[in-house]
């Protein structure tokens, strides 16, 4: 049983508890109304928040390790690191590379699914690239960006339950056919690294595209067509109700003012907080790392190119994204947690089991203090991470 300030889907439930049995949530109720056996294990949050575990649907790496390593041990270390930030479920994310390296990365993710690494559970793989706009490729290598090839991508999509989502530029020749294939295989299609016009993106949305990858980053925006001012992919994502969007809330990738704009345009229920964390997460300032074949360096709390001319992913955890959504974008802690848990679970089709603290769901739970410090992360009711120094400091919290 976990006692504390329980974060429900729409409100904070003070002096409540979450009862866990056989890895699932049995009951959420006021502590005064619950009877439990004398030998029951009790975790007292001491006034800290008890929240659903975070679901990170876009994460590349941590601690010098990357999904593109194609190694089980790399995925295990990434999963353990991000559990310390409250993540309980994640989809390791590839980058643009040759078909052999992408295949190797997917094979490693397939081996990691369902394994207990003592960290976040790996739910499947997010393929980002290689079918991206050359002019909006960001840190993806230009030499490997290419047009959609059914002979290549069908082999990835036919692995049932492995690929959860794919980021691609739908305006490319063959892009709409790829979109059809993703929907056929029940893989979440996400528009990103795209130079699409508003008309092109609206066509893709009408055809079934329902997700946008890291909003504001690496996508076309409003411009002119002759004398007319017209929308790009960004504005289309903001106004189309059926599109859910990813948001990197590290305060670097997206200015706080733009974060507020996204929340006002989309509403809380259409935003998924992501880390987009790369191998630099957890490394010291000035340390170099790799994202695929691209070199990055940890600078000022973010991953940058060595010449500091561009970004190369974030080095943040999900609890930092939740904190920033509150402190920089002005949302409530309930809404910030929702954007980090239930919304991505819904996007990935996992909300029947994950994303909120409700009876029957997996007991994926994170405890964090009012200062946004994680004390415990539990996966299926089992403590996979705890910080005793933070726990000791939280004893006096009301």
* Rounded-to-integer distance, Cα 78 and Cα 119, Å: 8
φ, ψ for residue 270 (rounded to 5)? -110, 15
Q: Are strands 54-59 and 12-21 parallel, antiparallel or unpaired?
A: unpaired
**Residue 127 belongs to what H/E stretch?**
strand 125-128
Inter-residue contact 130 to 154 (CB < 8 Å): no
Query: Which is catalytic among the residues 276, 362, 364, 387?
Result: 276
| Contact present, 359 and 27 (Cβ < 8 Å) | yes
Adjacency order of strands within the sheet including 24-30 = 24-30, 12-21, 2-7, 43-52, 365-368, 374-379, 382-386
CA atoms of 23 and 360, how far apart (whole Å):
10
Query: Three-class SS of residue 39?
Result: coil
Cβ burial of 385 (10 Å; 0-12, 13-18, 19+) is buried
Would you call 276 a catalytic residue per the annotation?
Answer: yes
Question: CB burial class (10 A; 0-12, 13-18, 19+) of residue 107?
Answer: middle
Active site residues: 276
């Amino acid at each position: 049983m976990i006692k504390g300030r329980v974060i429900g889907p729409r409100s904070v439930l003070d002096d409540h508890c979450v009862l866990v049995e056989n890895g699932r949530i049995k009951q959420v109720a006021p502590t005064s109304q619950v009877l439990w056996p004398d030998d029951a294990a009790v975790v007292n949050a001491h006034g800290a928040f008890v929240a659903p575990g975070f679901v990170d649907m876009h994460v590349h790496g941590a601690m010098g390790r990357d999904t593109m390593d194609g190694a089980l041990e790399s995925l295990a270390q990434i999963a353990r690191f991000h559990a310390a930030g409250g993540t309980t479920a994640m989809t390791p994310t590839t980058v643009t590379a040759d078909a052999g390296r992408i295949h190797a990365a997917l094979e490693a993710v397939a081996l990691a699914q369902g394994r207990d690494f003592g960290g976040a559970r790996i739910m499947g793989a997010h393929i980002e690239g290689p079918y991206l706009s050359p002019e909006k490729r960001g840190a993806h290598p230009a030499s490997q960006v290419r047009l959609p090839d059914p002979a290549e991508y069908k082999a990835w999509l036919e692995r049932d339950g492995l690929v959860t989502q794919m980021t691609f530029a739908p305006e490319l020749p063959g892009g709409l056919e790829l979109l059809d294939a993703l929907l056929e295989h029940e893989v979440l299609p996400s528009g990103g690294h795209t130079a699409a016009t508003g008309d092109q993106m609206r066509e893709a949305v009408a055809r079934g595209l329902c997700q946008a990858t890291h909003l504001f980053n690496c996508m076309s925006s409003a411009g002119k067509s002759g004398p007319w001012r017209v929308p790009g992919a960004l504005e289309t994502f903001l106004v189309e109700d059926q599109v859910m969007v990813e948001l990197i809330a590290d305060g670097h990738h997206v200015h706080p003012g733009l974060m507020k704009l996204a929340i006002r345009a989309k509403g809380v229920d259409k935003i998924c907080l992501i880390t987009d964390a790369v191998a630099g997460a957890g490394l010291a300032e000035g340390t170099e790392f790799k994202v695929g074949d691209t070199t990055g360096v940890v600078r000022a709390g973010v991953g940058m190119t060595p010449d500091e001319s561009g970004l190369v992913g974030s080095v943040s955890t999900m609890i930092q994204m939740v904190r920033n959504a509150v402190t920089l974008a002005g949302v409530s802690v309930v809404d910030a947690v929702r954007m980090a848990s239930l919304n991505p679970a819904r996007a990935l089709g996992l909300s029947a089991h994950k994303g909120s603290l409700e009876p029957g769901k997996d007991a994926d739970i994170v405890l964090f203090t009012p200062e946004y410090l994680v004390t415990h992360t539990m996966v299926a009711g089992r403590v996979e991470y705890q910080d005793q120094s933070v726990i000791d400091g939280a004893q006096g919290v009301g």
